[in-house]
Amino acid sequence: QTEYYALEGLSMLVNTVERIKNYLNPGLTIGAILLTMYDRRTNLSSEVAAEIKRYFPGVVLENYIPRLVKLSEAPSFGTSIFGHDPRGQGAVAYKAAAYELASRWASLGVEDGGE
């Protein structure tokens, strides 16, 4: 999420990944970061996104998920955005991010997202 506390959480996640890398899996890396709840109307979202891109160059997906009411509503209806509003901006954004990620994996020769 492009919010301050989520940025703090990302920092903690990076520390956890580093510990796992050091002790259990030297090949572990962060393959991609998807920015969510992005609100282009706020400076906070823009600043958090810029900070994440600065620390993770080439890792942050170009596509992002905007902050939308329909995305927030979907779980309360017991469905995903694809069931709740399949042609809406949120579903389109998730599809674009999925295609971007699949394209990255394909360029690396990865078929299923793993090794």
CATH value at residue 74: 3.40.50.300
pLDDT at 115: 52
| Domain of 34, in residue numbers | 4-108
Six-digit token string for 51: 């900070």
pLDDT at 43: 95
Contacts of 20 (CB under 8 A, 6+ apart): 28
Can you tell me the distance from the alpha carbon of 74 to that of 67, in angstroms, rounded to the nearest whole number? 13
Half-sphere exposure of 84 (CA within 13 A, CB side): 17
Q: How many residues does the chain have?
A: 115
- Domain count for the chain, please give it: 1
Per-residue pLDDT of the chain (115 residues; tens, 9 = 90+): 999 999 899 999 999 999 999 999 999 999 999 999 999 999 999 999 999 999 999 999 999 999 999 999 999 999 999 999 999 999 999 999 999 999 998 988 766 655 5
pLDDT at 108: 81
- Give the phi and the psi of residue 57 in degrees, each rounded to 5: -65, 135
- Nearest 5°: the CA angle 61, 54, 35 is 35
Within a domain: residue 113? no
pLDDT at 1: 93
